[in-house]
Amino acid sequence: EDKGRLLVSCPDQPGIVSAVSAFLFEHGANIIESNQYTTDPEGGRFFLRIEFDCAGIREKKSSLQAAFASVAEKFDMTWSLTLASELKRVAIFVSKELHCLHELIWEWQTGNLMAEIAVVISNHEEARELVERLNIPFHYMKANKDIRAEVEKKQLELLEQYDVDVIVLARYMQILTPDFVSAHPNRIINIHHSFLPAFIGANPYKRAYERGVKLIGATSHYVTNDLDEGPIIEQDIERVDHRDNAEALKNIGRTIERSVLARAVKWHLEDRVIVHENKTIVFN
Amino acid sequence: EDKGRLLVSCPDQPGIVSAVSAFLFEHGANIIESNQYTTDPEGGRFFLRIEFDCAGIREKKSSLQAAFASVAEKFDMTWSLTLASELKRVAIFVSKELHCLHELIWEWQTGNLMAEIAVVISNHEEARELVERLNIPFHYMKANKDIRAEVEKKQLELLEQYDVDVIVLARYMQILTPDFVSAHPNRIINIHHSFLPAFIGANPYKRAYERGVKLIGATSHYVTNDLDEGPIIEQDIERVDHRDNAEALKNIGRTIERSVLARAVKWHLEDRVIVHENKTIVFN
Amino acid sequence: EDKGRLLVSCPDQPGIVSAVSAFLFEHGANIIESNQYTTDPEGGRFFLRIEFDCAGIREKKSSLQAAFASVAEKFDMTWSLTLASELKRVAIFVSKELHCLHELIWEWQTGNLMAEIAVVISNHEEARELVERLNIPFHYMKANKDIRAEVEKKQLELLEQYDVDVIVLARYMQILTPDFVSAHPNRIINIHHSFLPAFIGANPYKRAYERGVKLIGATSHYVTNDLDEGPIIEQDIERVDHRDNAEALKNIGRTIERSVLARAVKWHLEDRVIVHENKTIVFN
Amino acid sequence: EDKGRLLVSCPDQPGIVSAVSAFLFEHGANIIESNQYTTDPEGGRFFLRIEFDCAGIREKKSSLQAAFASVAEKFDMTWSLTLASELKRVAIFVSKELHCLHELIWEWQTGNLMAEIAVVISNHEEARELVERLNIPFHYMKANKDIRAEVEKKQLELLEQYDVDVIVLARYMQILTPDFVSAHPNRIINIHHSFLPAFIGANPYKRAYERGVKLIGATSHYVTNDLDEGPIIEQDIERVDHRDNAEALKNIGRTIERSVLARAVKWHLEDRVIVHENKTIVFN
């Protein structure tokens, strides 16, 4: 199809929408969906996402980009122009618990996650059968604290080899080093099994049980070097009560983890998430 | 303040956003918020709501309107340009149950409902004290099936006298005649105490109880001549269980009715609701 | 394990709990969980579900049943005593859409659905691979209006052959005849893709879209001979907006259908659902 | 009416329900509602709440209590027997923000909060008119860190004078000293405007905004000497997005604070909340 997406971020000032929409009109693009946000109409930062139809966009992409550069320069824009038909290549990291991987694959098969699943990497063998049955490459890579640097080096090579655009930690349960994280800024999506910033770190369900909360949550966020402190993309909760022990919370939580991660990945794949100062703007 | 709102609806075609945003830019208006929707990029209908800042808009309003008319004509637009500072005048119709009236007044006092409450009309006296204490005119008008035509005539006069823009039926419990409804198209907001289209008509809580539903709902909609069939603005639900009898459902439902109606009225007051073919587009 | 469940229903009168709990105490059973409900303390009907631990219950089951019969007689009880370790045998009927089947299998593998999946029956071949891979018998049986009676006869034979306790219609999309339904009263669980009683019958998502609802739902209920009118076990909803067309609603709805059906089946398997006058009492 | 409530907590062992229900039966009490929970069937702690009808309970209360003492002794029970007709006396502490007070009064007028509102105490004058109009005593008492001890002394005298059973901090915004707290263990109910344990302490909405959360919450809990660490009674959340600044969060949050606090107070008044090791068991 001929769908394109223009993402823009720049200092807010009058005339931006006018300039961008005039550009699209002049180049034969019809706006399908448009979202904008400004942190402050007076001197804030302006964000714009436009989805448009443009006949023959695949051929015209680079000429469009070249032409837009002068608009962008005038307004000091950070921008990108992507094609919906150029699917992002996803690597999924997974551990022994497969519910998030299952959901991603299910949504991908249903056509809700428009992506190429380029590779699945795991420090366990549990996912192999499911993954290889779908003809997706599966790589087992042992992982623990002691061999982290070495393993990550191999993982980075693998990601390069598979030409990966986005990394999804679908309950991978390993901490990544700053080297790894900085190699993929705002492109590593994690699911944390708590309503952040509550229960940062290990064993959130156990701690939620001990605190006696009446709701448990899950949070999908971009990974930064501060553990569980990266920009939040999506969160959701489920009601629990005094009868639910830590094991029950874990069980109930799986359903939220699945849907929260799937939504976050979907929005990222559709270029709906913009990171700004450790927060996300989600145009959904 | 200098906030304005432009609402546009027209046949979809390339160039609309470009033309409108160029117009606003040329007239010194800075877009704060923009929402758009098309029923179909190919030959559908296009809807646009833009909120903008424009210094001295109060003085410039009629010249802006005059200037926009030529843009509008080119694209065959239905449109309106309103000022946030020109508050809509609201008439609230109420019966004996005051929870919805209470909520509207509370939200109005908090500053969440930017409106003038012009008058409260009731076929009972229960609301008088609350209303008059706030120096809002209160009119008692007996109402029942037999005297409907006569009463509505007086009500319409009253609405004219108070220069009312929007009528909120906050559990008024009386059916309106086609004459009354057609005098205020898409400007009468009702709250129905069910999840429409389930339980259209009388006694929805009793019928919900008898059906054994596990969720009850409330629906706010514009009133048309088909009972409970008008365009839905907002809905919400609450969980119930087998222990809740009809009385309990009514009680639980009050909280949903309150918040659903308050949200619908708020969105209407901010020109966020557009009616299209018995459905609403809600730009919130 | 040694877990048992006692389900009781009888005319309400003083002394029932006392009699039942004395019985359990005297027979060495320790109550783990107890739920009760009365439609009316004065002359209503009383319902009780007790989950208990009783060492060696497998050997003692028939003597317990014999002993309880005299308590039951005194209070005119309808009752059953089941063992958690005696898993119910489930038949899943499915059509082309597999999301509900997927969810049931996933929850079953996770240990959340304590059951034997005895057989999967479908009028299409889509589910075969998934089912047979898990060594669950799969039977293709063509089905349509014209051959209904004949097909159902074979299906009933199959259900008998597989000694099935409960039938789950996981988006089977075929109407069952009264003969079939009456053969399994309150043991056929359906998922309907709307918030019943809204949108009974065919194409609920299309009709929801046309009505312009702001929430869509799913309902799991026991099948009776009145289409979509059987006792509701569980319902849930998801928020939608004007941008979601019928296809989008269908897509969003899948997630609710999955979780609503899985919860209903789980509760049925754990003997938590009691049908009373076309409603359910759910002790969860 | 003749409704009574029996609350029991004791080491779990077989025979408790049997003994209690036999006692009630023998004394002419008919169980209306019964809830139980055990932390562990093997050596855990057992909790029971029974609501019952007993003709002439007002006259028989002390004889019932005397008789139950021997049952209680046998099982080493902590217990209480209360009458629904003996309404708890509530003191509401409030500051300048009145939305929670408003909701409590509204629910009280509707008959959902069965209590006597004995007194309202505030360190501001905003609430006086609303409170005195309802003929509820209102006491202004200046409050700040420097005069805390002195003020609390007067407050405690006032609470004694008004014979208060439960204290509701309806956005009181002052920290209480250990002396005050220990004078009313598990009887001071607070509303904290965050989803605890996230955003303990001051300015939760501002911090939620800065963290970029996608849901905000409110938590009602019993006050202990650890700030915002007391047993949680109820929590709820509302969805927000990047457009909502700290002020908007505060605004959205008010609706959750209101309903969460009202539910927690209602459950406390109906003796549905039991505190166990810094958690609550809520029999609702």
Mean pLDDT of D31-37: 95
What percent of chain C stands above pLDDT 70? 100
D254 CB within 8 Å of a chain B CB: yes
Quote the mean pLDDT of chain B: 96
Taking only the tens place, the pLDDT of each residue in B116-141 is 999 999 999 999 999 999 999 999 99
A252 CB within 8 Å of a chain C CB: no
Domains of chain B: 3-83 (3.30.70.260), 88-282 (3.40.50.170)
Which of B249, B256, B252, B282 lies closest to B268 in space, CA to CA? Answer: B282
B212 CB within 8 Å of a chain C CB: yes
Tokens of C194: 């709307």
* Residue D262 pLDDT > 90: yes
CA distances from residue D231 to D9, D38, D113, D188, D274 in whole angstroms, order as listed: 17, 18, 21, 11, 10
Cβ–Cβ below 8 Å for A280 and D234: no
- Residue-by-residue DSSP string for D148-187: HHHHHHHHHHHHHHTT-SEEEESS---PPPHHHHHHSTT-
Phi/psi-derived region of residue B171, left when phi > 0, alpha when psi is between -120 and 50, beta in every other case? left
Q: Spell out the residues 6+ positions from residue C96 whose beta carbon is closer than 8 angstroms to its own.
A: C124, C126
| pLDDT bucket at D241, cuts 50 / 70 / 90 | very high
Q: How far apart, in whole angstroms, are the C-alpha atoms of residue A283 and residue A273?
A: 6
Facing A259 at nearest CB: one of C102, C110, C255? C255
Beta bridge partners of A235: A219
The DSSP H or E segment spanning B72 is helix B57-75
Beta bridge partners of D88: D115
Q: Spell out the residues 6+ positions from residue C74 whose beta carbon is closer than 8 angstroms to its own.
A: C19
| pLDDT bucket at C31, cuts 50 / 70 / 90 | very high
CB-CB neighbors (< 8 A) of D44 in chain C: none
Q: What is the pLDDT of residue B61?
A: 96
Which residue does chain B place closest to D240, by CA atoms? B284
Taking only the tens place, the pLDDT of each residue in B28-74 is 999 999 999 999 988 899 999 999 999 999 999 999 999 999 999 99
CB-CB neighbors (< 8 A) of D251 in chain B: 110, 112
Residues of B annotated as catalytic (active site), given as ranges: 228
Burial of residue D56, with CB atoms counted within 10 A of its CB: 0-12 exposed, 13-18 middle, 19 or more buried: exposed
Which residue does chain C place closest to B204, by CA atoms? C197
Which of D77, D66, D61 lies closest to D5 in space, CA to CA? Answer: D61
Which of B53, B5, B10 lies closest to B276 in space, CA to CA? Answer: B10
CA distance B176 to chain C (A): 22
CB-CB neighbors (< 8 A) of B33 in chain A: 36
Q: Spell out the residues 6+ positions from residue D33 whose beta carbon is closer than 8 angstroms to its own.
A: C36, D49, D50, D51
Q: How far apart, in whole angstroms, are the C-alpha atoms of residue A212 and residue A227?
A: 24
Amino acid letter for position B115: A
CB-CB neighbors (< 8 A) of A236 in chain D: 215
Q: What is the pLDDT of residue C143?
A: 92
Q: A99 and A191 in contact (C-beta within 8 Å)?
A: no
Neighbours of A115 (CB within 10 A): 20
* Residue A41 pLDDT > 90: no
First to last CA, chain C: 21
What percent of chain C stands above pLDDT 90? 96
Cβ–Cβ below 8 Å for A232 and D214: yes
Taking only the tens place, the pLDDT of each residue in B216-227 is 999 999 999 988
Q: What is the pLDDT of residue D113?
A: 97
First to last CA, chain B: 21
Mean pLDDT of D11-24: 95
| pLDDT bucket at A42, cuts 50 / 70 / 90 | confident
DSSP D143: -
Q: How far apart, in whole angstroms, are the C-alpha atoms of residue A279 and residue B14?
A: 34
Q: Show the CA angle centred on residue D129, arms to residues D128 and D135, nearest 5°.
A: 85
| pLDDT bucket at C105, cuts 50 / 70 / 90 | very high
Cβ–Cβ below 8 Å for B33 and A32: no
Taking only the tens place, the pLDDT of each residue in D48-86 is 999 999 999 999 999 999 999 999 999 999 999 999 999
Which residue does chain C place closest to B38, by CA atoms? C243
DSSP A238: E
Q: Which chains form contacts with chain A, at 3 or more CB pairs under 8 Å? A: B, C, D
Q: What is the pLDDT of residue C121?
A: 98
The distance of Cα A63 from the centroid of its chain, to the nearest Å, equals 28
Q: What is the pLDDT of residue D27?
A: 96
Facing C32 at nearest CB: one of D28, D29, D41? D41
Q: What is the pLDDT of residue B109?
A: 94
Phi/psi-derived region of residue A106, left when phi > 0, alpha when psi is between -120 and 50, beta in every other case? alpha
Which residue does chain C place closest to A256, by CA atoms? C259
Taking only the tens place, the pLDDT of each residue in A144-170 is 889 999 999 999 999 999 999 999 999
Amino acid letter for position D5: R
CB-based burial, B157-173: b 16+ in 10 Å, e otherwise = ebbeebebbbbbbbbbe
Taking only the tens place, the pLDDT of each residue in A187-230 is 999 999 999 999 999 999 999 999 999 999 999 999 999 889 99
Task: Look at chain A and count its residues.
Answer: 284
Cβ–Cβ below 8 Å for C17 and D17: yes
CB < 8 Å from B in window 46-85 of C: none
Strand order of the β-sheet with A188-192 is A138-140, A115-122, A88-94, A166-170, A188-192, A215-222, A232-239
* Residue B8 pLDDT > 90: yes
Q: Which chains form contacts with chain B, at 3 or more CB pairs under 8 Å? A: A, C, D
Burial of residue B29, with CB atoms counted within 10 A of its CB: 0-12 exposed, 13-18 middle, 19 or more buried: buried
Cβ–Cβ below 8 Å for D102 and B106: yes
Burial of residue C163, with CB atoms counted within 10 A of its CB: 0-12 exposed, 13-18 middle, 19 or more buried: exposed
Facing D34 at nearest CB: one of C14, C15, C36? C36
Residue ranges of alpha helices (H) inside chain C are 16-26, 57-75, 99-110, 128-133, 148-161, 178-183, 204-211, 246-269
Burial of residue A67, with CB atoms counted within 10 A of its CB: 0-12 exposed, 13-18 middle, 19 or more buried: middle
Quote the mean pLDDT of chain D: 96
Cβ–Cβ below 8 Å for C213 and B197: yes
Cβ–Cβ below 8 Å for B279 and C242: yes
Q: What is the pLDDT of residue B140?
A: 97
CB-CB neighbors (< 8 A) of C110 in chain A: 99, 251, 254
* Residue D41 pLDDT > 90: no
Tokens of D125: 């004058």
Facing D197 at nearest CB: one of A198, A243, A279? A198
Mean pLDDT of D152-178: 96
CB < 8 Å from B in window 107-166 of D: 110, 112
Pairs of CB atoms within 8 A across A/D? 73
D34 CB within 8 Å of a chain B CB: no
What percent of chain A stands above pLDDT 70? 100
Q: What is the pLDDT of residue B78?
A: 97
| pLDDT bucket at B1, cuts 50 / 70 / 90 | confident
Query: Which entry of A228, A236, A244, A271 is annotated as an active-site residue?
Result: A228
SS3 C197: coil
How would you classify the pairing of strands C215-222 and C232-239? Answer: antiparallel
A251 CB within 8 Å of a chain C CB: yes
Q: A4 and A51 in contact (C-beta within 8 Å)?
A: yes
Taking only the tens place, the pLDDT of each residue in B177-189 is 999 999 999 999 9
First to last CA, chain A: 21
* Residue C227 pLDDT > 90: no
Which of B155, B170, B152, B52 lies closest to B108 in space, CA to CA? Answer: B170
Is D165 among the residues known to form the active site? no
Cβ–Cβ below 8 Å for B18 and A18: yes
Q: How far apart, in whole angstroms, are the C-alpha atoms of residue C221 and residue C206?
A: 21
Q: B261 and B172 in contact (C-beta within 8 Å)?
A: no
Q: What is the pLDDT of residue C30?
A: 92
A202 CB within 8 Å of a chain B CB: no
